[in-house]
Structure 1
Amino acid sequence: MEKETSKIEVIQQLAQGGDAEAQFNLGVRYDRGEGVLKDFKEAAKWFKLSAEQGYAKAQFSLGGMYYSGQGVLKDFKEAAKWYRLAAEQGYAKAQFSLGGMYYSGQGVLKDFKEAAKWFKLSAEQGDAAAQMALGMIYEGGDGVLKDSKEATKLYKLSAEQGLVEAQFRLGAMYYSGQGVLKDFKEAAKWYRLAAEQGVAEAQLYLGIMYYSGQGVLKDFKEAAKWYRLAAEQGKAAAQLLLGFMYYSGEGVPQSFISSYSWANISRYNSNGADTKSLFDFLENEMSMDDVSKAQALSKRCLESNYKNCGS
């Protein structure tokens, strides 16, 4: 404890003496509450003193505080200004953030070409978020010529660094054969990585692959498992597919009540899209008492935020 206190005192002395790196480090301490009480205003103060001396990390951090409104009034123009100063010094995180502001039109005029430029500079330094963002730009053709191969290449670079959204997007490219040869095994591999980290859309598609035997051995239990995980995150398509599995008894014990309940929840979340056929089947199988039980179950499931949806 004494050693830490002594370290803070040294940083404070250096910062008060005008050392830009120490000012930045003191700002970080106040931002995180490390060795000092967390204080965003103090953090912003020290970041600004350092940033005004041209310290790129401080410029980026100050930009982030203006972007989020922590310690200062939220101001996208100021955020863009400080991001730009750091980006022009080659700081990859700032280049990505500035690209994002051009992409969304926050603090600057929306400009997909400028967004692509800054994303590319950051991506070339290995920033995973920038690689994914640039991949999205190439996939959509925003500010650049549409290029699915380039998009796939960038998604892979990002996915291999562990960025979960890039893993999902790479799985989708392999599944559809966009920018790469269609490969269900590779699709399943990348969908699984994203699904295991809780991405509902990846859980849905992995369930579909287990149901149909695409890239994996057909396994109805695994399909139902992944459908349920996606369903419990509010994914209407997964809720409907899980309802069908309860109807047929594939991968789960057959239960018309559970089937109706999940179909009812899916109808609620999708404004009734695609649920009619399952309700038509169920109406021929269920008593009014069972329908009432199913409606009560779906109500309880929704009210508990998917924590109490039955087995």
Structure 2
Amino acid sequence: MSEESNPIDMDLVSGIAAFESKQFSRAVGLLAPLAEQGNVEAQYRMAIMAQNGLGMLPNPLMAYSYMKSAAKAGLGLAQHGLGFMYMEGECTDKNPAKAVEWFRKAADQGLIGSLTTLAMMYEKGYGVEQDLEEAKRLYKRAGFDERATTLS
């Protein structure tokens, strides 16, 4: 590891630790520069803090921008987060079809919450054509065999 990358790694580790221990002001100070440089882990956490006003004033535009960047870079948790933003109309316009698209990407990475949310969307026909067979398949894949068998 080069000496140049070491301070960035330490800031990331320290920033994530501050985030996890709810020291949000400290987390913002450590993660904001890394998020600006394109670090997806920092972007994801900055998006959460900006969305919820943790360690800063709520900033929906920043939250959406960072969540989308991290999601596009392939971070499953950010894909799930972006799906929720579209599903609920938080920080962006409500768009159930886009929510399905992002939940599917996160589900493809094995995120149980995304699989379950996607199953519910197929069950209800929200953002997609109602498809109970697809809902059953997704519930089963998420480990909810009982829920999959109760759909008819």
Secondary structure of the residue aligned to 2:82 is helix
Q: Which residue in the other structure is 2:120 paired with?
A: 244
Is the Cα contact below 8 Å between 1:164 and 1:193 reproduced in 2?
Answer: yes
Matched to 2:113, the amino acid is A
Aligned residue pairs, count: 152
Q: Which residue in the other structure is 2:10 paired with?
A: 130
Q: Which residue in the other structure is 2:98 paired with?
A: 222
Is the Cα contact below 8 Å between 1:185 and 1:214 reproduced in 2?
Answer: no
Q: Distance in 1 between matches of 2:96 and 2:47?
A: 21
Over the aligned positions, Cα root-mean-square deviation in angstroms equals 2.1
Is the Cα contact below 8 Å between 2:18 and 2:26 reproduced in 1?
Answer: yes
Q: Distance in 1 between matches of 2:52 and 2:134?
A: 32
Matched ranges for 1:94-173 at <5 A: 96=6, 122=7, 127=8, 129-140=9-20, 147-173=23-49
Deviation at 1:156, TM superposition (A): 0.9
Compare CA radii of gyration and give the structure with the larger one: 1
Report whether the alignment pairs 1:259 with 2:135.
yes
Q: Distance in 1 between matches of 2:106 and 2:141?
A: 13
Q: Distance in 2 between matches of 1:140 and 1:205?
A: 17
Is the Cα contact below 8 Å between 2:84 and 2:99 reproduced in 1?
Answer: yes
Deviation at 1:254, TM superposition (A): 1.0
- Which one of the candidate residues 235, 242, 262 is aligned to 2:111? 235
Report whether the alignment pairs 1:213 with 2:89.
yes
More RCO (CA 8 Å, sep 6+): 2
- Give percent identity, aligned residues only: 29
Q: TM-score, normalised by structure 1?
A: 0.45
Q: Which residue in the other structure is 1:182 paired with?
A: 58
- Which runs of 5 or more residues in structure 1 are unaligned? 1-59, 62-90, 97-121, 287-311
Q: Distance in 2 between matches of 1:248 and 1:183?
A: 31
CA displacement 1:85-131 (0-9 Å, x = unmatched): xxxxxx343xx3xxxxxxxxxxxxxxxxxxxxxxxxx2xxxx3x332
Deviation at 1:140, TM superposition (A): 4.3
CA displacement 1:180-221 (0-9 Å, x = unmatched): 122333212111000001111001011011011001110010
Deviation at 1:147, TM superposition (A): 3.4
Deviation at 1:133, TM superposition (A): 1.8
Matched to 2:133, the amino acid is I
Q: Which residue in the other structure is 1:201 paired with?
A: 77
Q: TM-score, normalised by structure 2?
A: 0.89
